[in-house]
Amino acid sequence: MVRLGAMGDVLRTLPAVCALREAYPDAKISWLVESRCAGVVALCPAVDEIRLFPREEWARLLRGGRVLDFLSSLKALTKELRAANFQMVLDFHGLLKSGFLMRLTGAPLRIGYAHPHAREYSWLFSNQRVKLPKQKESRFDRNQALVTHLGIDLTCSGPLIEVPEPAKLRLSPFVTEGRGPVLFHPGASEVASHKRWSPQRFSSLARRVMTLTGTPCLVLSGPSAEEHELQRQIVEGSGGAAAAAPPTPTLADLAALLSAGSLFVGADSGPLHMASLLGTPVLQLLGPTDPVQNEPWSATPWHRAYVPQACSPCRQGCADVHCMEALSVDLVWDCLKRLGKENASWIEGEALNEVRK
């Protein structure tokens, strides 16, 4: 498998890889991935082996003008991939770098996307090219298309992600018995800050959840100072309805926390897709990103708070992010109620006639 990054895209490749495992139970499945996303692949029971793409090392060597050192590293990786004697490679990434790496393996069967879904001439490195439909489809369906090309019409019957027991034990002091907390994830990557819902509205939603359901809310944070500040603002503004989630220094810790939640609320992000693959119902707060391509995993219940805009979808964002501003607390609360009622009677009673903002 070649899917180098990013976190959300690697996660959305897992069902396709698990379908391959169902079809080829005795095969050895290896995954070539960047080190920053290797922790995601390590949680997938369908994968036997992780091979690292030294992206940061190569970038550093080339920036420093150390061309000979780069060529030496490239030669070493090529030797490693050839020695593995791969019989088939699937390029789920569809870019020049992934196509080139697929070709380095020397595998006789190299499957990738056809133009235009394969970009940067990456289709030149595959010898079987899969044409996708002209209409948009989810990333999950797009990845599944490479597997379907092989005549495989299976879905994974086992878990897509296995949470290690040590991670469960580390998180157990923070998770109460019974109904799990509602998990808020206010962050997004630094280049996608326009996907974020305002911390003030998260605080208002937390107060409403606690008042009307008695369910505590935990606010997740990534490692950046910016996300810690978002977490602080939401917790302080909630009046005790929300608390800071425990630190999750590894992706295994994050998976343990997400699996313990009763519901997940957040923008289109890697943690949202991880929660969905773990079976935790998700409410997607969608503004600038494409609603079709970024659907959560369909096997897990989900709802979406979304107000279509003339300028959406977009990638660059804007100063006033009116697509996210259009998501009122009332709208998100209504979506959350529907999602909760559909899953284990999350809303207790009907004392909803005095909904507080």
DSSP 94-160: -SHHHHHHHHHTT-SEEEEEPTTTS-TTGGGG-SEEEPPPSS---HHHHHHHHHHTTT------S-S
Same domain? 178 vs 257: yes
SS3 assignment, position 346:
coil
Using the 3D structure, point to which of 89, 115, 148 is the last residue of a domain. 148
| pLDDT tens per residue across span 171-210 | 888 766 667 899 999 987 666 678 889 999 999 999 999 9
Evaluate whether residue 2 is within a structural domain. Answer: no
Q: Are residues 115 and 179 in the same domain?
A: no
Rounded average pLDDT over 77-98 = 97
Which residue segment(s) compose the domain that 244 sits in?
167-341
| Range 340-347 average pLDDT | 62
Q: What is the CATH number of the domain that holds 253?
A: 3.40.50.2000
In this structure, are 192 and 120 located in the same domain? no
| Residue 155 is assigned to a structural domain of this protein | no
Model's pTM, two decimal places? 0.91
What does the pLDDT look like over 202-239, one tens digit per residue?
999 999 999 999 999 999 998 889 999 999 999 999 99
- Same domain for 180 and 89? no
pLDDT band, residue 265 (cuts 50/70/90): very high
- Mean of pLDDT over the chain: 91
pLDDT above 80 (res 355): no
The verdict on 292 and 323 lying in the same domain is yes
User: Which DSSP symbol is given to 20?
Assistant: H
174 with 272, same domain: the answer is: yes
Give tens-digit pLDDT for 113-140: 999 999 999 999 999 999 998 888 999 9
The answer to whether position 156 is within a domain reads no
**98 shares its domain with 180:** no
Per-residue confidence (pLDDT) for residue 172, from 0 to 100: 83
Question: Does 178 share its domain with 266?
Answer: yes
55 pLDDT band, cuts 50/70/90, is very high
Beta strands in 189-287 (DSSP E): 217-219, 242-244, 263-267, 282-286
**Is 70 contained in some domain?**
yes
Res 350: pLDDT: 41
Number of structural domains in the chain: 2
Residue 353 lies in a domain: no
pLDDT at 118: 94
159 within some domain: no
> Residue 346 domain-assigned?
no
Is it the case that residue 353 has pLDDT exceeding 50? no
Assess whether 144 and 179 both reside in one domain.
Answer: no
Q: Are residues 130 and 188 in the same domain?
A: no
Is 120 inside any structural domain?
A: yes
Beta strand spans in the chain (E): 30-34, 49-53, 88-90, 109-113, 128-130, 182-185, 217-219, 242-244, 263-267, 282-286, 302-306
Does one domain contain both 143 and 171? no
Mean pLDDT to the nearest integer, 93-109:
97
Of 219, 218, 235, 226, residue with least CA distance to 191: 226
Q: Based on the domain organization, do 142 and 175 belong to the same domain? A: no
Q: Strand 263-267 to strand 182-185: parallel, antiparallel, or no bridges (unpaired)?
A: parallel
- Of 68-82, 135-149, 154-168, 287-301, the poorest mean pLDDT is in 154-168
